Amino acid sequence: MVSGLAPRARAVAWVVLGAWISLSPRAWAQDAEPLSHRLSAFDLLTRGPELGGTDLPRDLPGRVTVGPPRPVQGLDAAAPGADVPLSMEVTSVEPSLAPLASRASFQVLPAAVSVVPGLLFHGLGPLVAGDGRTAGRLFAMEGTGLGLIALGGVPIALTGASRRTIAPLYAVTLAGFSVFGISALANLYAVASPAFDPGVPAASLPPLELEMGYQYVSDTSFDYDHFVTLGGVARFDEVKLEATARFAPDEGNTQVRAGGAYRLLGASERQRGGADGSSLDAELFGLFHRFPSEGFTVGGGEVGLRGRYAMARVSPSLAGSFAEASIGLSLQGYSYMGPVDDGNLHEQLLFTFGYGVWLGRGGPLRGEAMLYYDHRKDGFAGGLRTFGGGVVGNFGLRGRALLDERWGVAAEMQAGGALVGRLSLIYAWDGGDA
């Protein structure tokens, strides 16, 4: 017995016993958890803020919920049922929050290299940062994009952009540009993301959002430039309905676009839970645009597919970002004074791609922001004329965020043949839990 030892031996025994209790893998605060999930007292200490850790273990896959104290058995069996005030029980783990402990720190040199010459050699920034896995995949994406551009662009040049083959070849070429552009932006994001905590898709979005705001259009072709904007989004399990209206009070120029989307793949925005946000939608919209000063009206419909892909599936260093692309076709008719001819009907290939980030990490802030290219040329932003005399689409940046369960903001900037800016206030009906 320890009480029978000499005073010096007794002190040594107590020190050995205390060290064994602190460092032993069997000295756990919760003996009911599996051994693979338990933390020793030493591990808990090193994860504390006193030694550079955090109050919340950041290597867990999400937010932890702390329950009431539990009885501790084993070493304290002499007092069965006794509660330990500082013990915690992890009752649930939300998969929505991405792991942060393994993320690298921000470095200036890889960030600079990702711009020059990284915008030409995608993946160079992550390669300098020591992330060979991300670099290899971005180089592969860039090569795929260049291959698709050549696969579609070379036949277009050889056939003189023949109307018989231009549609599929044009689609392949645009797909190549989208893959190339996404890999370029991912190259920048991979080296910049360590400077901040990445966002995650919101676990759920409200069933109804209403929007009202102001839009300014700077276009030398038209005299009017001030618009009132209205919009609404209704979300169901697999169906989402959308409508927008733009109205110039002075001239009466009015644009209305309404339709919806059906979720083919991926979790619903109403109940996304811990899903990573990847999805595929089938879209159908109708468009009406009245130009009273010019004396004509445009009306028609459009159909297409829109997909979103969580870039964390490409590499963990891209967590918090996503790529989006859509392809479709629109058929429109023009009504104006004068004889009717074949020029009254117009078909247009619709194509967009963008790179975005999610805003918020499970709290009241829920939203996203995206830099994008839109190939359509009949909107307020129009098309951008190239040096070769052709016309491409427009570039834009848009963001949308709910600041709490009821109110939010939306903003958008577009640059093409005209400059367009929009700022709106959002009201969410029955916001629900964040």
Q: What is the pLDDT of residue 163?
A: 84
Tell me, yes or no, whether 202 lies in a domain. Answer: no
Tell me, yes or no, whether 254 lies in a domain. Answer: yes
Tell me, yes or no, whether 375 lies in a domain. Answer: yes
Q: What is the pLDDT of residue 89?
A: 41
Question: What's this model's pTM, rounded to 2 decimal places?
Answer: 0.75
- What is the C-alpha separation between 26 and 74, in angstroms, rounded? 9
Which contiguous run of DSSP H or E holds residue 309? Answer: strand 296-310
Query: Taking each helix axis from N to C terminus, what angle separates 132-159 and 166-192, rounded to the nearest 10 degrees?
Result: 160
Residue 89 lies in domain: 28-93
- What is the C-alpha separation between 9 and 13, in angstroms, rounded? 6
CB atoms within 10 A of CB 7: 7
- 242: CATH: 2.40.160
For 367-413, the pLDDT digits (tens) are 999 999 999 998 999 999 887 777 899 999 999 999 999 999 999 99
pLDDT less than 70: residues of the chain:
1-103, 337-343, 431-434
Which contiguous run of DSSP H or E holds residue 254? Answer: strand 254-265
Quick one: which of 329, 278, 284 has its CA closest to 307?
A: 278
- What is the C-alpha separation between 335 and 341, in angstroms, rounded? 11
Tell me, yes or no, whether 146 lies in a domain. Answer: yes
Q: What is the pLDDT of residue 204?
A: 92
Single out the residue in 93, 117, 135 at which a domain terminates.
Answer: 93
Tell me, yes or no, whether 59 lies in a domain. Answer: yes
Q: Are residues 112 and 80 in the same domain?
A: no
- What is the C-alpha separation between 87 and 104, in angstroms, rounded? 31
Q: What is the pLDDT of residue 434?
A: 36
Single out the residue in 43, 65, 93 at which a domain terminates.
Answer: 93
- Per DSSP, the three-state class of 176 is helix
Tell me, yes or no, whether 4 lies in a domain. Answer: no
Q: How many domains does the chain have?
A: 3
For 66-86, the pLDDT digits (tens) are 444 444 444 344 444 444 444
Q: Are residues 274 and 395 in the same domain?
A: yes
